Amino acid sequence: MSVSQELREQVMGQAQGALSLQVAFIGVVNALFSRLHELGAAGAAELAQAAGMDTGYVTRWCDVAYAFGYLEDAQGKFALTPLGVGFLPEASGTLMPFAVHSVLSAHMAERAAGLMPSGERPGEKVLAERATILPWFGPMLETMFGGLFEREILPRLPAYGEVDARGGIAVDLGCGNGWYLRKLAARYTRLNGIGLDGFEENIRQAGALAQQAGLAQRLSFRQGDIHEFTIEEPVDLIAMNRALHHVWDEKENVFRILKEHLSPGGVAVIWEPHWPAQRSALRHPSRRGMAFQNLAEHVQGNHFLRPSEIEAEFTRVGMQVETYLFANDNEAVVVGRKPA
Ligand SMILES: C[S@@+](CC[C@H](N)C(=O)[O-])C[C@H]1O[C@@H](n2cnc3c(N)ncnc32)[C@H](O)[C@@H]1O
């Protein structure tokens, strides 16, 4: 058996792609792209000092970042190339999430490989095992999905405007860094929001970002478990974005919580990746990431859902249901309305 040259070259190209994102990850999490952008052009020692990093490591990083085309030689100093500028986390349309996702995926792949013999599924804590990745989890998701939310989901769902008209309350269960409520509150100025998440780091970021955006009066965030969520007054909207599959093993309790805490006519807005009915659909390049993610979800004790499964739960608890598909049908938003 021998491997063809064509296949070898194909995989070598893929290997370089993975390496290039790993190099970018180091530059993102240690703010090397950002500091170099501020400096304009700098030697490795100057960049290390500006970033508060070790000169030896930064020197090696500059060499590899130059090799992969993130840095150019500017008269003996380093400067960002347009590709390097693309990884600035603050750039509009930043490439940052690809770098973070690449290293998070490598971590999850290593965990899946090691856990496969025993079948152990350690749960959510696996996400927090890498200190450099955890703070980037929220920004990664925000930049991956925030644009789609603003461009397509917000304008298409009437429910948000209804909550705003009442000056109502929207709750986000599993809120991450709080981007969804921030975007909602920025567009709908009478609406108030409450976010809940299990990770302390997410709640810290959510509070700080709401403050920075001038929304702290209307948005509050707290650490807690979705399974134990409770609030005194009924709310008008409960959102769960990429969070329901995390708590699906106790779905009866979750759908009870949704229905009990909504006011009459209130809506639960569930956004999940749309796991396709046919395996053949996973071959499409736009779904390969989802297929890998579902393996990573297995490590965490979860699996992705089909919209029909979510619809069935809403129907079971006596709520009317409507499903919206986005992004080539890869994203599903299932809206359940409590009877008025
Ligand atoms: C994939 S992330 C999505 C975060 C956010 N909704 C977004 O769209 O960026 C899932 C989130 O659910 C949270 N989560 C999962 N299970 C939870 C639970 N039982 N209680 C509270 N938060 C939970 C995680 O901490 C994580 O932030």
pLDDT digits (tens, 9 = 90+) for 99-112: 999 999 999 999 99
Ligand 1 centroid–CA 251 distance in Å is 15
User: What tens digit of pLDDT does each residue of 204-231 get?
Assistant: 999 999 999 999 999 999 999 999 999 9
Which residue is it, tokens 């807005």?
269
Could you tell me the pLDDT band of residue 306, with boundaries at 50, 70 and 90?
very high
Domains in the chain and their CATH numbers? Answer: 5-90 (1.10.10.10), 158-277+303-337 (3.40.50.150)
Overall pTM surpassing 0.85 (yes/no):
yes
Find, among 13, 62, 7, 8, the residue nearest to 35 by Cα: 62
Could you tell me the pLDDT band of residue 81, with boundaries at 50, 70 and 90?
very high
Which residues approach ligand 1 with their CB closer than 6 A?
124, 141, 174-176, 180, 197-199, 202, 225-227, 241-243, 246-247
Ligand 1 centroid–CA 199 distance in Å is 8
Find, among 252, 256, 187, the residue nearest to 218 by Cα: 187
- CA-nearest residue for atom 20, ligand 1, is 225
User: What tens digit of pLDDT does each residue of 164-209 get?
Assistant: 999 999 999 999 999 999 999 999 999 999 999 999 999 999 999 9
Q: Tell me which of 181, 223, 246 to substitute to probe ligand 1's pocket, judged by most ligand atoms within 8 Å of the beta carbon.
A: 246
- Judged by DSSP in three states, 238 sits in strand
Q: Tell me which of 175, 293, 299 to substitute to probe ligand 1's pocket, judged by most ligand atoms within 8 Å of the beta carbon.
A: 175
Find, among 237, 100, 260, the residue nearest to 181 by Cα: 237
User: What tens digit of pLDDT does each residue of 261-285 get?
Assistant: 999 999 999 999 999 999 999 999 9
> Which atom of ligand 1 is nearest the CA belonging to 141?
9
DSSP 88-137: -TTSTT-SHHHHHHHHHHHHHHHHHHHHTTTT----GGGGGS-TTTHHHH
